[in-house]
């Protein structure tokens, strides 16, 4: 059982001992620390925070604890109920709120949940802000309101529809072309809120959705991370239904992956590549992704005359670099699309609409579209951490071992070889070291990952 406290929030497994897992006491303590931080930002009479959750089994319990803790802090809560991470992000500025909390553990299995924290812009907190909240929680330096000053909870379950309205109003979403294409698409909503939002969006775009695991009951039918090995049912359904393609999202709908008409993965790394290709074909500009993402985005960006740059892993780091370099689209290679014309957050709904627009205008099959992009292959592996492992020392030794190569150390160690790369870093969300590699073939990528893991095992004497 695990509890991970970081600048992006608190994440853990349900049940067990306080401060070792995500228990009700931990949820209340961290929500109170966030509430105290919100009140430090501006001195005003009324504070408002938007709260929404994915469909996890523990979600209703955690949401009730979080909302009523904020009420106890004298903060008014806008309760979105079942929602998505990007929906909460757009709701915060629309409600003129002081912040937002999303209750989701993203791609983690059902025993996990988390509090993901937003500022008044509806964007994830930066490192300084996150550290302040961790300090408040650590020192218990929060004051609760007296009875006449308690906050109130107001329900507003219209925001998924409002979110869809916002997506449909984006100038580059070609509604006429999409409707004319008469697409048929299988949707795997992993029995969470993507099963609500994605089919509704498709219907509004004139697409015929075939629902697979779209009941938002929190009983994930497979590992919720949208990887090929977890998606055999979607692959079979796409072929059986003779669909144009398949869509899968993670439980909080900020990651997006596609499956082509033959039941093969388009590649979650290529979700951003395709969407960027479409946007850059209309509006020249720059792009950003994190350094664990495919080189194909760089290639596509340069094809359109733009400049590509890589950030440290983490949405807040991508967003910071996008703002600095005026990127018109960016994101992460895990299928996260960040399109500033909408908002600065990963958004699967925006990604679906842009991808459909691209496909409708090109009038080609998804497999043909994938074949039109530079071909890179990735391997994504991990090493489970144990308390005795000194991760910083391991990374430092790896840096020294490969000092003759092109190295980047702003986030773990990334080793750029002539036609491949390896990136190893400690995860922010799980007790693991991630090892990502990319090469011209799957075998080369896997072999490189195995070589790096062997190096680490030797260093750590595992």
| Positions marked catalytic | 106
Q: Are 84 and 252 in contact (CB under 8 A)?
A: yes
Burial readout 54-81 (b: 16 or more C-beta within 10 A, e: otherwise)? bbbebbeebbebbbbbbbbbbbbbbbbb
Q: Which residues contact 436 (CB under 8 A, 6 or more apart)?
A: 292, 378, 379, 380, 381, 422, 423, 424, 449
Q: What is the spatial distance between Cα 439 and Cα 378, in angstroms, rounded to a whole number?
A: 7
Q: Are 112 and 14 in contact (CB under 8 A)?
A: yes
Contacts by residues 138-146 (CB-CB < 8 Å, ≥ 24 positions apart): 140/29, 141/36, 142/32, 142/33, 142/35, 142/36, 142/73, 143/36, 144/32, 144/72, 144/73, 144/74, 145/72, 145/73, 145/74
Q: What is the spatial distance between Cα 212 and Cα 195, in angstroms, rounded to a whole number?
A: 8
Q: Which residues contact 450 (CB under 8 A, 6 or more apart)?
A: none
Q: What is the spatial distance between Cα 108 and Cα 87, in angstroms, rounded to a whole number?
A: 20
- In 3D space, the residue among 158, 110, 125, 106 whose CA is nearest the CA of residue 40 turns out to be 125
Q: Are 195 and 214 in contact (CB under 8 A)?
A: yes
Sheet holding 336-338, edge to edge: 308-311, 286-290, 327-332, 336-338
Residue 432 vs residues 250, 383, 385, 388: alpha-carbon distances, Å: 20, 5, 5, 13
β strands within 37-165, DSSP E: 47-53, 75-82, 99-103, 112-118, 153-155
């Amino acid at each position: 059982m695990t509890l991970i406290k970081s600048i992006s929030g608190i994440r853990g497994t349900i049940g067990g001992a306080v401060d070792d897992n995500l228990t009700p006491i931990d949820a209340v303590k961290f929500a109170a620390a966030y509430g105290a931080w919100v009140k430090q930002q501006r001195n005003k009479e009324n504070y408002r925070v938007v709260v929404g959750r994915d469909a996890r089994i523990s979600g209703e319990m955690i949401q009730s604890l979080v909302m009523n803790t904020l009420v106890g802090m004298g903060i008014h809560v806008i309760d979105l109920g079942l929602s998505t991470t990007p929906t909460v992000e757009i709701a915060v500025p629309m409600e003129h709120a002081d912040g937002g909390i999303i209750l989701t553990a993203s791609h983690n299995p059902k025993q996990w949940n988390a509090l993901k924290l937003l500022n008044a812009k509806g964007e994830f907190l930066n490192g300084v802000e996150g550290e302040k909240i961790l300090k408040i929680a650590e020192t218990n330096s929060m004051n609760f309101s007296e009875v006449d000053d308690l906050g109130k909870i107001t329900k507003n379950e219209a925001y998924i529809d409002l979110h869809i309205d916002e997506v449909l109003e984006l100038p580059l979403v070609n509604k006429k072309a999409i409707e004319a294409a008469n697409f048929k698409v299988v949707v795997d909503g992993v029995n969470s809120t993507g099963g609500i939002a994605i089919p509704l969006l498709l219907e509004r775009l004139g697409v015929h959705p075939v629902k697979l695991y779209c009941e938002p009951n929190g009983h994930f039918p497979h590992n919720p991370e949208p990887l090929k090995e977890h998606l055999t049912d979607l692959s079979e359904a796409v072929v059986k239904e003779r669909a144009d393609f398949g869509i899968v999202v993670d439980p909080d709908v900020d990651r997006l992956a596609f499956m082509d008409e033959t039941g093969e993965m388009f590649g979650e790394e290529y979700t951003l590549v395709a969407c960027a290709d479409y946007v850059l074909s209309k509006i020249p500009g720059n792009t950003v992704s994190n350094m664990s993402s495919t080189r194909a985005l760089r290639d596509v960006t340069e094809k359109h005359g733009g400049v590509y740059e890589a950030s440290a892993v983490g949405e807040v780091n991508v967003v910071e670099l996008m703002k600095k370099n005026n990127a018109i689209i960016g994101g992460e290679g895990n299928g996260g699309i960040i399109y500033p014309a909408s908002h600065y957050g990963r958004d699967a709904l925006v990604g679906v609409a842009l991808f459909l627009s691209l496909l409708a205008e090109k009038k080609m099959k998804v497999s043909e579209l994938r074949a039109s992009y530079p071909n890179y292959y990735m391997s994504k592996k991990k090493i489970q951490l144990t308390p005795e492992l000194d991760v910083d020392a391991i990374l430092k030794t790896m840096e020294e071992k490969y000092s003759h190569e092109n190295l980047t150390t702003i986030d773990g160690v990334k080793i750029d070889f002539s036609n491949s790369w390896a990136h190893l870093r400690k995860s922010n969300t799980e007790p693991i070291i991630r090892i990502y590699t990319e090469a011209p073939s799957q075998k080369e990528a896997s072999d490189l990952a195995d070589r790096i893991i062997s190096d680490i095992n030797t260093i750590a004497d595992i």
